[in-house]
C-alpha cells in the first residue's frame, strides 16, 4: 500500500479539445484576473513540448515550474479554491485515471517504469488509477495505448455539519451514545416484539475511513469497550469484530465508523464489515463487490463522485446492480444537496430538454477569446488555434427571449460547486461544452473547459469558485458549446451540501425546463434504496438539505468496453428517494457537538439507519429478496407531514411495520414497548446529565417520563473575533426544542443568572465561555448546558 499523507486540492478546469501544453500556456496567462482559473506568470507562457493525452489541468502540473512543488504547494501553485469536487493528492503525487484503448494490464510494468505508483487496476473499464509526481505525468501519458490521463476528483460524503476535531477542542463529548433513530424508527420495539437483534446478517459499510482519525474523541477499540461497536471485550457480549477489508484511504474522519455505530445501535447482533470508498470511482465500485463477496447481504454507503453520470448508471451503479442481483440489499445516502430559497422553492438544479443555442456569448468571453488568439499569433503557435470561440452560448430563457447567463447568489465565504452534465453516454461523447463564471459586471471569474472528447470521454464540466468578497455575491454562469453539432439535454446541479447558494435566476420549472432534483449517480440507480433524512427530533418533515428526486435515465449502463451504451427506447423515470430515516442521532465522536453530545447529521446517517432495519428484516425472513426488503420498507413507511414522494419517498422507515409487511403477519409486540434497561449494559451516565428516553447521554431508562427541554444556540459569533478595540459587542440567540422556556446563562467563571433569549454583551480581549440552560414551565431544566467557547483577539 502506498503510504503518504493525503491532501485534497480543488479541481482546476481544463482547456479546449485535443490541445497540448503549447496551447495551454498562453491561454492560462489570459486568465490572470481576480478569481481566475490559474495564477500564472507571463514568463511561463511560452513553455514548449506536447503532453499527448494529458488533461489540461494535469498538463499544468507537469510543467517544469511544478516539479519541485510540495504536496501543499501543488494546490497553491494552481490557485485552487477550497471545497468539494477537488483532486486527490498524496504527498507530492496526484491521483490520476489512465484510460487505455486496450491492454491496460499489459501496460502495468511500463507504467511502473515511469515512477508512478499503481493504486487500482480495472480490467472492465481498461483504466488504471495511479499516484504520480508532476515530472512523471508526461511519461505516463506516453505509455503505449494510453487514451487519456485525467485527475481523480475527490469524493463527497453526505454528512452535514461535521465539526470534527475542532469542536472537540472547545468542549469534548462524554461517554457512550445511542442514536435516537433506535426509537424514532421503532427498532427497539421490533427487537423486543420479534425477539431479534440482526443476528445472522452481515452489514457492509462504505465511507471515507474506519479507524484513521487520530484526533477523534474515541477509537474503534474504545468504542468496543463501551459497547458502541462489536468486538472482543464488548460488554454486551457482541464479540465478533468489525471486518475491515480496506481502510487504506488516508485523511478520512472515520465517518464509516460512525455509520457502523448506527447499525450496531439498531441491530446489535448483526456482523459488520467496512471498505473505503475514497480512493477512486472505480476502486469504490470494486469494494462494493468485495463486501458482497465477504458475505454482506446488506450494504450502505454515503459517498459520491462528482463525475458520476446524471443520465445513466455509471461504474459504481453497475457494481450496485450486480450485488443486488446477487442477493444484497443496497442502501445509499440520497445526498445533502437540496437548496431552498426564501420562498420555499427547491432550487438546487436546473435542467433543459435540449441545448438552446443563442448564437452569441457575453462580451467578456468574446474579448477573452480575441486576447488569446492574439497571443497565439504573437507566439507563432502551431495548429489550428485554440480560441474559445464563444459564439454558441446556451439560452437559459425557455421562452421567446434570449438569456446568455444563469444568475446565482453565493453566500459570503461559501464555495460554489456547479456540476454541469449533458445527455451523452460515456465513451460516446461528441460534444465539447464549456462553462464559465462571470461576476455581476460580466467579468470573467473562472471556468471549466475540459477536453471532453479527446481525453475524458465524459460529458461533465465542474465549475468551482470561492466567494471571498466579504458579502454575498451575484455571479452568472455561461455555457458555450465549443465543438459538436447536437443539441443534447443539459442539467446543472449545485452540489452545496445544503447551503451557500440562496437564490437562482430560474427558481421554478417552466417551458419544459425542470428545477429542483439533485439525486444522481448510484443513489439514483433503480436497484439501490436511496435514503433521505428526517431529523431525530421531528418526524414530520425531511431535512431541508435532503436531496430531492426523481432521477431520469436516457441511456443504458456504462459498459466495461469502449463502446458507448445505447439510448433507451424510452427514458426511465426512477422515483427517488425510496424512504427517509433518522439523522442527527447521537454518536461517540462524529459530527457536531451539541450539549455534550456528538450529533451525526446528513443522509450519511440516514442510510445506515435504514440498512440496520433491513438487517432486522432479514433475520426474520432470511430468504427475502432485495426487492422484497425494499418494498416492505417503502409500503410500510409512516407519512412525513404533507411532503411529496420527491422529498420523502414512501415515508419514514418503521421497523416493526416493515417486518410485519415482509412476513405478512401482525406485529406481536404492540405499538409501544418500554426500552429494556439491559439494552445498553448499564453504561454510566455522563457527568452533569441525567438519563433520558431519547438516549442523549448514551443510556436509556425504563421510565417513559418526558425529557427536559434541549438547549440550542440559534445564533453565535465566530470562533475568533478580531477587533481594534479593548472590547467587542457580541450577540447570542438561544433556543430550545420546546416552547415557553426560560434561559439561564453562565459567562466564563461566573454564576448562572437569568438571561433573555437574545443576549447582548461586550467581551474583552481573551478566551471566553458561554453556557446556557433552558428550563420549561414545569421547572424541568436541561442537565447538559449548551456550551460555546470563542476568542476575542486584538489586531493593530
Residue range 559-584: mean pLDDT, rounded: 95
421 is a domain residue:
yes
Whole-number pLDDT of residue 667: 45
Domain tally, the chain: 4
Average pLDDT over residues 478-500: 91
Dihedral Cα 91, 96, 98, 104, nearest 10 deg: 50
pLDDT greater at residue 314 or residue 32? 314
12 plus 89 within the same structural domain? yes
655, pLDDT greater than 50: yes
Contacts with 555 (C-beta within 8 Å, 6 or more apart), sequence order: 311, 312, 423, 425, 564, 565, 566, 567, 568
Looking up residue 451, the CATH number of its domain turns out to be 2.60.120.380
Which sign does the torsion angle of CA 20, 71, 76, 156 carry? positive
| Peptide linkage before 580 cis (omega within 30 of 0) | no
- Asked which of 301-305, 331-335, 705-709 is least confident by mean pLDDT, the reply is 705-709
pLDDT digit string (tens) for 171-224? 332 337 889 999 999 998 898 888 899 999 999 999 999 999 988 989 999 999
CB 532 within 8 A of CB 546: yes
Residues 6+ apart with CB under 8 A from 577: 334, 519, 523, 530, 531, 532, 546, 547, 549, 647, 648, 649
Asked if residue 65 lies in contact with residue 44, where contact means CB atoms within 8 angstroms, the answer is yes
Query: CATH no. for residue 740?
Result: 2.60.40.10
Asked if residue 320 lies in contact with residue 527, where contact means CB atoms within 8 angstroms, the answer is: yes
Closest by Cα among 789, 590, 796 to 171: 789
Residue 569 lies in a domain: no
The average pLDDT across 104-115 equals: 90
**159 pLDDT tier (thresholds 50, 70, 90):** low
Whether 16 and 145 map to the same domain: the answer is: yes
Nearest to 195 by CA among 704, 534, 659: 659
pLDDT value at 341 more than 70: yes
Q: What letter would DSSP give residue 454?
A: I
Residue 381 has pLDDT above 60, yes or no: no
Average pLDDT of 45-51? 30
Which band of pLDDT confidence, cut at 50, 70 and 90, is reported for residue 352? very high
Question: What is the model's pLDDT at position 706?
Answer: 61
Q: What is the predicted pLDDT for the residue at 369?
A: 63
| One domain for residues 100 and 121 | yes
Q: What are phi and psi of 514, to 5 degrees?
A: -120, 135
Do 257 and 202 share a structural domain?
yes
Q: Are residues 143 and 196 in the same domain?
A: no
Is the pLDDT score of 120 beyond 80?
A: yes
Q: Is the pLDDT of residue 22 over 80?
A: no
More confident residue, 174 or 602: 602
At 789 the pLDDT is 80
CB atoms inside a 10 Å sphere around CB 555: 21
- Asked whether residue 788 is assigned to any structural domain, the reply reads yes
**Same domain? 208 vs 125:** no
Q: pLDDT digit string (tens) for 727-738?
A: 999 999 999 988
Is residue 19 scored above 90 in pLDDT?
Answer: no
Checking if the pLDDT of 45 tops 90, the result is: no
Is 62 part of any domain? yes
> Tell me, what's the pLDDT at 751?
76
∠ Cα 609 323 125 (to 5°):
120
* 309 within a domain of the structure (yes/no): yes
Angle of the 626-636 helix axis to the 655-663 helix axis, nearest 10: 120
Give me the mean pLDDT over the 388-409 stretch. 90
**Residue in the structure block whose three cell numbers are 442521532:** 585
- Of 96, 123, 154, the residue at which a domain comes to its end is 154
Is the CA virtual torsion 613, 616, 618, 624 positive or negative?
A: negative
CA distance 15 to 417: 19
Cβ-based burial of 681 (10 A; exposed 0-12, middle 13-18, buried ≥19): middle
Judged against a pLDDT cut of 80, whether residue 482 lies above it is answered with: yes
CATH number at residue 632: 3.40.50.200
Mean pLDDT of the chain: 81
Domain final residue pick, 154, 188, 218: 154
Q: What is the CATH number of the domain that holds 59?
A: 3.30.70.80
pLDDT at 88: 67
pLDDT at residue 773, rounded to an integer: 87
What is the per-residue pLDDT across 256-309, written as a single tens digit (0 to 9) for each?
999 999 999 999 999 999 999 999 999 999 999 999 999 999 999 999 999 999
Distances 452 to 17, 249, 386, 704 between C-alpha atoms, Å: 7, 28, 15, 60
Q: Tell whether the model's pLDDT for residue 353 goes beyond 80.
A: yes
Please check whether residue 139 lies inside any domain of the structure: yes
pLDDT band at 608 (very low <50, low <70, confident <90, very high): very high
Q: Both 267 and 176 in a single domain?
A: yes
The more confident residue out of 720 and 70 is 720
pTM: 0.72
Say if residues 460 and 421 touch (Cβ distance below 8 Å).
yes
Quick one: pLDDT band at residue 597, thresholds 50, 70, 90?
A: confident
In this prediction, residues 163-176 reach a mean pLDDT of 34
- In a domain, residue 567? The reply is no
Residues 298, 207: one domain? yes
* Range(s) of the domain holding residue 246: 164-336+577-663
Confidence band of 720 (pLDDT split at 50, 70, 90): confident
Q: Tell me: do 432 and 296 sit in the same domain.
A: no
pLDDT of residue 373: 52
* Final residue of a structural domain among 465, 500, 515: 515
Enclosing H/E stretch for 428: none
| Weakest mean pLDDT among 32-41, 150-159, 172-181, 193-202 | 32-41
Q: How confident is the model at residue 389 (pLDDT cuts 50, 70, 90)?
A: low
**Higher pLDDT residue, 170 or 490?**
490
Q: What is the mean pLDDT of residues 652-660?
A: 95
Pair 395, 490 in one domain? yes
| Residue among 286, 259, 253 at smallest CA distance from 274 | 259
- Say what the pLDDT of residue 86 is: 54
Same domain assignment for residues 324 and 415: no
Q: Identify whether 778 is part of a domain.
A: yes
Does 184 share its domain with 326? yes
Q: 166-175, 269-278, 570-579: lowest mean pLDDT where? A: 166-175
Rounded Cα distance between 541 and 550, Å, is: 18
Whether the per-residue pLDDT at 546 is higher than 70: the answer is yes
Mean pLDDT, range 90-109, rounded to an integer: 85
Q: Across residues 645-660, what is the average pLDDT?
A: 96
Asked if residue 749 lies in contact with residue 675, where contact means CB atoms within 8 angstroms, the answer is no
Amino acid at each position: 500500500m502506498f503510504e503518504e499523507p493525503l491532501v485534497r486540492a480543488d479541481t482546476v478546469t481544463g482547456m479546449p479539445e485535443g490541445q497540448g501544453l503549447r496551447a495551454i500556456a498562453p491561454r492560462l496567462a489570459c486568465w490572470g484576473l481576480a478569481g481566475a482559473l490559474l495564477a500564472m506568470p507571463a514568463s511561463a507562457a511560452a513553455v514548449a513540448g506536447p503532453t499527448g493525452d494529458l488533461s489540461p489541468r494535469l498538463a499544468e502540473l507537469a510543467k517544469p515550474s511544478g516539479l519541485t512543488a510540495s504536496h501543499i504547494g501543488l494546490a497553491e501553485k494552481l490557485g485552487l479554491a477550497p471545497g468539494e469536487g477537488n483532486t486527490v493528492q498524496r504527498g507530492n503525487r496526484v491521483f490520476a485515471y489512465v484510460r487505455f484503448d486496450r491492454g491496460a494490464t499489459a501496460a502495468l510494468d511500463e507504467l511502473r517504469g515511469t515512477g508512478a505508483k499503481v493504486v487500482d487496476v480495472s480490467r472492465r473499464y481498461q483504466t488504471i488509477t495511479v499516484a504520480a509526481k508532476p515530472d512523471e505525468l508526461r511519461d505516463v501519458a506516453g505509455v503505449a495505448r494510453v487514451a487519456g490521463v485525467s485527475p481523480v476528483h475527490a469524493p463527497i460524503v453526505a454528512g452535514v455539519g461535521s465539526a470534527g476535531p475542532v469542536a472537540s477542542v472547545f468542549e469534548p463529548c462524554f461517554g457512550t451514545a445511542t442514536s435516537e433513530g433506535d426509537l424514532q424508527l421503532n427498532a427497539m420495539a421490533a427487537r423486543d416484539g420479534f425477539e431479534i437483534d440482526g443476528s445472522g446478517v452481515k452489514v457492509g459499510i462504505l465511507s471515507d475511513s474506519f479507524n484513521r482519525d487520530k484526533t477523534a474523541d474515541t477509537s474503534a477499540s474504545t468504542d468496543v469497550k463501551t459497547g458502541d461497536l462489536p468486538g472482543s471485550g464488548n460488554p454486551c457480549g457482541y464479540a465478533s469484530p468489525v471486518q475491515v477489508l480496506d481502510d487504506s484511504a488516508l485523511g478520512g474522519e472515520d465517518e464509516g465508523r460512525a455509520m457502523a455505530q448506527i447499525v450496531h445501535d439498531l441491530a446489535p447482533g448483526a456482523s459488520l464489515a467496512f471498505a473505503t470508498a475514497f480512493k477512486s470511482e472505480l476502486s469504490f465500485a470494486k469494494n462494493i463487490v468485495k463486501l458482497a463477496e465477504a458475505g454482506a447481504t446488506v450494504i450502505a454507503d454515503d459517498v459520491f463522485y462528482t463525475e458520476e453520470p446524471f443520465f445513466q448508471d455509471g461504474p459504481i451503479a453497475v457494481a450496485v446492480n450486480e450485488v443486488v442481483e446477487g442477493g444484497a440489499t443496497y442502501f445509499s445516502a440520497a445526498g445533502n444537496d437540496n437548496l431552498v430559497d426564501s420562498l420555499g422553492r427547491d432550487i438546487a438544479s436546473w435542467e433543459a430538454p435540449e441545448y438552446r443555442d443563442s448564437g452569441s456569448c457575453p462580451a467578456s468571453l468574446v474579448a477573452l477569446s480575441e486576447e488569446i488568439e492574439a497571443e497565439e499569433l504573437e507566439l507563432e503557435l502551431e495548429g489550428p488555434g485554440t480560441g474559445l470561440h464563444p459564439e454558441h452560448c446556451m439560452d437559459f430563457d425557455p421562452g421567446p427571449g434570449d438569456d446568455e447567463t444563469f444568475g446565482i447568489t453565493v453566500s459570503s465565504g461559501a464555495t460554489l460547486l456547479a456540476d454541469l452534465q449533458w445527455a451523452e453516454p460515456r465513451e460516446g461523447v461528441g460534444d465539447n461544452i464549456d462553462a464559465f463564471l462571470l461576476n455581476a459586471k460580466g467579468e470573467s471569474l473562472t471556468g471549466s473547459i475540459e477536453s471532453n472528447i479527446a481525453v475524458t470521454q465524459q460529458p461533465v464540466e465542474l465549475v468551482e469558485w470561492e466567494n471571498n468578497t466579504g458579502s454575498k455575491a451575484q455571479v452568472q454562469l455561461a455555457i458555450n458549446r465549443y465543438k459538436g453539432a447536437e443539441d443534447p439535454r443539459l442539467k446543472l446541479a449545485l452540489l452545496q451540501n445544503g447551503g451557500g447558494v440562496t437564490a437562482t435566476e430560474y427558481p421554478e420549472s417552466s417551458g419544459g425546463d425542470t428545477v429542483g432534483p439533485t439525486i444522481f449517480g448510484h443513489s439514483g440507480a433503480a436497484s439501490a434504496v436511496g435514503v433521505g433524512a428526517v431529523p431525530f427530533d421531528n418526524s414530520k418533515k425531511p431535512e431541508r438539505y435532503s436531496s430531492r428526486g426523481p432521477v431520469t435515465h436516457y441511456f443504458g449502463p456504462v459498459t466495461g468496453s469502449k463502446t458507448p451504451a445505447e439510448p433507451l427506447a424510452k427514458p426511465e423515470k426512477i422515483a427517488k428517494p425510496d424512504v427517509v430515516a433518522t439523522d442527527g442521532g447521537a454518536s461517540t465522536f462524529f459530527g457536531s457537538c451539541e450539549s455534550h453530545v456528538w450529533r451525526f447529521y446528513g443522509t450519511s446517517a440516514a442510510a445506515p439507519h435504514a440498512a440496520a432495519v433491513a438487517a432486522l428484516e432479514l433475520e426474520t425472513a432470511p430468504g427475502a429478496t432485495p426487492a422484497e426488503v425494499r418494498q416492505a420498507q417503502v409500503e410500510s413507511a409512516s407519512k412525513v407531514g404533507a411532503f411529496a414522494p420527491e422529498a420523502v419517498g414512501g415515508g419514514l422507515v418503521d421497523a416493526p411495520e416493515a417486518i410485519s409487511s415482509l412476513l405478512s403477519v401482525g406485529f406481536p409486540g404492540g405499538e409501544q414497548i418500554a426500552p429494556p434497561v439491559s439494552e445498553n449494559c448499564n453504561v454510566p451516565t455522563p457527568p452533569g446529565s441525567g438519563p433520558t428516553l431519547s438516549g442523549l447521554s448514551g443510556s436509556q431508562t425504563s421510565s417513559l417520563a418526558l425529557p427536559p427541554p434541549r438547549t440550542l444556540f440559534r445564533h453565535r459569533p465566530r470562533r475568533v473575533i478580531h477587533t481594534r478595540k479593548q472590547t467587542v459587542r457580541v450577540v447570542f440567540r438561544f433556543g430550545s426544542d420546546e416552547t415557553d422556556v426560560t434561559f439561564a446563562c453562565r459567562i466564563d467563571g461566573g454564576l448562572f443568572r437569568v438571561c433573555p433569549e437574545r443576549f447582548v454583551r461586550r467581551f474583552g480581549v481573551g478566551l471566553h465561555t458561554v453556557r446556557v440552560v433552558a428550563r420549561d414551565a414545569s421547572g424541568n431544566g436541561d442537565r447538559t448546558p449548551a456550551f460555546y467557547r470563542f476568542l476575542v483577539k486584538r489586531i493593530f
